[in-house]
Amino acid sequence: MVTLQDRPSLGSEAYLATRLRLLRLLRELNRANTTALAGRSGMSEPVVAKFMRELESNGLVERSALDDGDGAGLAERAGSAVYHFRPAGMKSGAVLISVDTVQVAVIDADGAVVGRVEHSLGTDKRPAAVFDLIVDTLHESLAELGLSTRELLGIGIGVPGLTSFHSGVVHFAPHLPGWSDVPLGPRLSERLGALVWVDNDSHVQALAERYFGLGQDGGEFVSVQSGMGLSAAFYLDGTLYRGPRDTAGEIGHMIVQEDGRLCDCGSWGCWETIASVTWLVDEACRAEDGSFRLPDWLDIPEFSDQDYQSIWDIDPAVVRLAAHTIFQAAHQGWPRAIALVKQHGQYFGIGLANLANMLNPQRIIIWGDDIEAGQMFLETVRNSVARRAIKHPCKTCEIVFSPLGHDVALLGAGCLAIDALYGAN
Ligand SMILES: [Zn+2]
């Protein structure tokens, strides 16, 4: 008997959730007929059959020609179609919101980022304007690839702010005005007719490592975002640890100096105040006479044209540009730049030593701006950790750069959908 519960309206959230549930079930079984799927899911067989036909037309499952008898009794009944999951058909939508752009792409089964489109947020960064931009950009990307949202597992969104994964609400995004308790996930799910998952940009990076990077071997790892803000994601016991309010990983605000510098968060001596690239640029610009100015060995027109009094007057994009220029100067052999990068690595290592002691991960993966600092930075970090961390856990903890390149967070956003299918949720 077909019950009402079996028949959520086409495209509704309940329909999409049921579609994913059946797909997940088939992935676990690898191969099953509609009778078995109906039995396992508690749904009626005609409804299951309808869902499977739709999944087949979207390339996510394939109908097996014949039951070859290895289905553990799952395909015995005549007339009950046998399906198998088709990993190669997996595609997920990926959206990455940054402080000044929206990037959209489709992630295929091999982790390739295809149909990538990027647009500036412009001057209006309030939620409604960004929602419209995401919807338009996603449609632009899908049109370019000749796809519809129905062919996607769903859409993952990475956000630079405090986000509740379970409700899809963005609680706070420091560089996006008006983003306070914004129901990004539910609103976009409704507008796009697709399942939508939302998480912060640091968490999604760990999922990218899990599915396509250095976490594929199933080891426990911590990924650490370097740059102006520092954060981490913990992939432990086969799953991403988010914590009860989904905010785990704010290690930039781990206090490492009792009377240290004032931090953005209102506290003092946070790790971020000495191990971010903001510190690096600030330190480079503190002249011996106490003034704040660009040193002679750095040439950054965007910086020198302005009359900055302190690091806090500088646009974040210019701070990042200055940090990358310091890294280049170190690569070119400028002694002051080398000294700064090494000091930066020493401080970065303090936080990683704490992580190694606390969590005993097999691997700590660094991503973000500091990758540009190269081996000189990485070796200094490793030495700093080796000197500070407890020897036994540290000995087995590898400290490496992410191999996934600049698109790692965008790839990770798409991995939210893949994790809904493969993860331990
Ligand atoms: Zn802080």
Where does 30-62 have alpha helices with state H?
34-41, 45-57
Cβ pair 184, 157 in contact under 8 A: yes
User: What is the distance in A from the centroid of ligand 1 to the CA of 332?
Assistant: 33
Of 230, 322, 227, 328, the closest CA to residue 284 belongs to: 322
* Tokens encoding 353: 């030593």
317, with CB counted inside 10 A (0-12, 13-18, 19+), is exposed
CA of 243 to the centre of ligand 1 (A): 19
Alpha carbons within 13 A on the beta-carbon side of 86: 19
Quote the ligand 1 centre to 205 CA distance (angstroms). 21
- Strands 363-368 and 239-241, how do they pair? unpaired
Q: How would you class 422 by CB atoms within 10 Å of its CB: exposed for 0-12, middle for 13-18, buried for 19 or more? A: middle
Cross-strand pairs, 231: 225
- The total of other beta-carbon atoms located within 10 Å of residue 32's CB is 29
Supply the pLDDT for residue 1.
Answer: 37
Amino acid found at 358: M
Q: Tokens in use for 129?
A: 């304007």
Query: Of 192, 184, 152, which is closest to residue 167 (Cα–Cα)?
Result: 184
Ligand 1: centre distance to CA 277 (Å): 15
C-alpha of residue 59 to centroid of ligand 1, in Å: 47
- Note the pLDDT of residue 3: 42
Query: What's the pTM value of the predicted model, to 2 decimals?
Result: 0.89
**Considering only CA atoms, which of 37, 90, 40 is closest in space to residue 61?**
90
Query: Strands, E, within 201-290: which ranges?
Result: 221-226, 231-236, 239-241
* Nearest Cα to Cα of residue 110 among 416, 414, 420: 414
Closest C-alpha among 97, 100, 107, 163 to residue 131 = 97
Q: What is the pLDDT of residue 2?
A: 37
Distance (Å) from CA 37 to ligand 1 centroid: 50
State the pLDDT at residue 80.
81
Encoded tokens for 265: 């968060």
Residue 122, pLDDT score: 87
Task: Say how many Å lie between the CA of residue 62 and the centre of ligand 1.
Answer: 51
Contact 173, 185 (CB under 8 A): no
DSSP summary character for residue 156 = E
Give residue 155 CA to ligand 1 midpoint distance, Å: 32
CA dihedral defined by 184, 187, 190, 195, rounded to 10 degrees? 20
Distance 204 CA to ligand 1 centre (A): 22
Q: 85 CA to middle of ligand 1, Å?
A: 46
Residue 268 CA to ligand 1 centre (angstroms): 7
Cα–Cα distance between 172 and 25 in angstroms, integer? 35
Our CA dihedral for 413, 415, 420, 425, rounded to 10 degrees, sits at: -90
Could you list which residues have their CB under 5 Å from ion ligand 1? 253, 263, 265, 267, 270
Question: pLDDT tens digits, the chain, 425 residues: what are they?
Answer: 334 344 556 668 888 999 999 999 999 998 999 999 999 999 999 999 999 999 999 999 999 865 555 544 444 455 688 999 998 999 999 999 998 899 999 999 999 999 999 999 989 999 999 999 999 999 999 999 999 998 999 999 999 999 999 999 999 988 888 999 999 999 999 999 999 999 999 999 999 999 999 999 989 999 999 999 999 999 999 999 999 999 999 999 999 999 999 998 899 999 999 999 999 999 999 988 888 998 888 888 888 778 888 998 888 888 999 999 999 999 999 999 999 999 999 999 999 999 999 999 999 999 999 999 999 999 999 999 999 999 987 888 999 999 999 899 999 999 999 999 998 76
**Residue 38 Cα to ligand 1 middle (Å):** 52
Who's near 279: CB < 8 A, 6+ residues apart?
273, 344, 347
Q: Which two tokens stand for residue 147?
A: 């796809």
Query: What's the gap in Å between 197 CA and the centre of ligand 1?
Result: 27
Among 420, 416, 418, 406, residue whose Cα is nearest residue 118: 406
d(CA 53, CA 57): 6
**What per-residue confidence (pLDDT) applies to 99?**
84
